[in-house]
């Protein structure tokens, strides 16, 4: 897990795209909505749960005072035995924050939820709720088709806010097809602010951290 401050020189180089396949480019309605509402008067703290993409860190740094924490959760969870209790597994894959660490304002989960069962989604929500401030946003993408790529992709934010989909190879696996009601039920501490069904079969979500009771 790494931290990158809001300067272009701090961002690592983006991984080169797969030259064997033409990347897909799609608009992102959830990202557009998110960008329209972010007006922080302090440093914004982002947690990116996908692989580090230098161009994305630069994208945020050029627009907002921010620090970006990257934790490739799918890769980290793959190192935890499958039979491990979901909350224990998520805690092992997502290290505990420092005692003096400020709360998180934005979580970028990309397509991670497609590769988690509902118990692990719930465990992730519990862990994130403990680290996010009330009102924090959680961006996620869920495919609604029967098949999903065998492994999570990586996503590059273009200057216009659209996304370049970098998918590994042509192999697929059955998708969980999480429905909106299932996402809502599996994310305690968060509520669905908005969701957008896109033409290419992806449903985007903006979840919001609930205020404590």
Distance between CA atoms of residues 63 and 190, nearest Å: 26
Q: Where are the beta strands (DSSP E) in 60-113?
A: 66-70, 104-110
- Of 14, 11, 19, nearest in space to 61 by CA: 11
Distance between CA atoms of residues 50 and 36, nearest Å: 23
State residue 21's pLDDT score.
Answer: 58
Per-residue pLDDT of the chain (213 residues; tens, 9 = 90+): 444 444 333 334 444 444 445 788 999 999 999 999 888 788 899 999 999 999 999 999 998 999 999 999 999 999 999 899 999 999 888 867 778 889 999 999 999 999 999 999 999 999 999 999 999 999 999 999 999 999 999 999 998 889 999 987 778 999 999 999 999 999 999 999 999 999 999 999 999 999 987
State residue 167's pLDDT score.
Answer: 86
State residue 20's pLDDT score.
Answer: 47
What domains can be seen in the chain, in order of their start residue?
A: 2-8+21-209 (3.40.50.150)
Buried/exposed 150-176: b ≥16 CB within 10 Å, e otherwise? ebbbbbbbeeeeebbbbbeeeeeeebb
State residue 6's pLDDT score.
Answer: 41
């Amino acid at each position: 897990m790494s931290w990158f401050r809001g300067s272009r020189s701090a961002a690592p180089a983006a991984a080169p795209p797969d030259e064997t396949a033409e990347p897909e480019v799609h608009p992102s309605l959830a990202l557009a909505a998110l960008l329209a509402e972010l007006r922080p008067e302090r440093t914004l703290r982002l947690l990116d749960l996908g692989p580090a993409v230098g161009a994305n860190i630069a994208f945020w740094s050029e627009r907002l005072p921010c620090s970006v924490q990257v934790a490739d959760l799918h890769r980290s969870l793959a190192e935890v035995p499958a039979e491990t209790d979901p909350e224990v597994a998520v805690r092992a894959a997502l290290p505990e924050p420092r005692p003096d660490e400020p709360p998180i304002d934005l979580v970028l989960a990309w397509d991670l939820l497609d590769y988690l069962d509902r118990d692990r989604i719930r465990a992730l929500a519990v862990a994130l709720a403990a680290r996010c401030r009330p009102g924090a946003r959680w961006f996620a993408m869920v495919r609604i088709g029967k098949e999903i790529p065998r492994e999570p992709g990586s996503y590059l934010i273009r200057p216009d806010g659209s996304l370049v989909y970098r998918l590994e190879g042509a192999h697929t696996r059955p998708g969980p097809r999480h429905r909106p009601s299932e996402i809502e039920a599996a994310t305690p501490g968060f509520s669905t602010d908005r969701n957008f069904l896109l033409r290419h079969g992806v449903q985007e979500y903006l979840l919001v951290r609930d205020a404590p009771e």
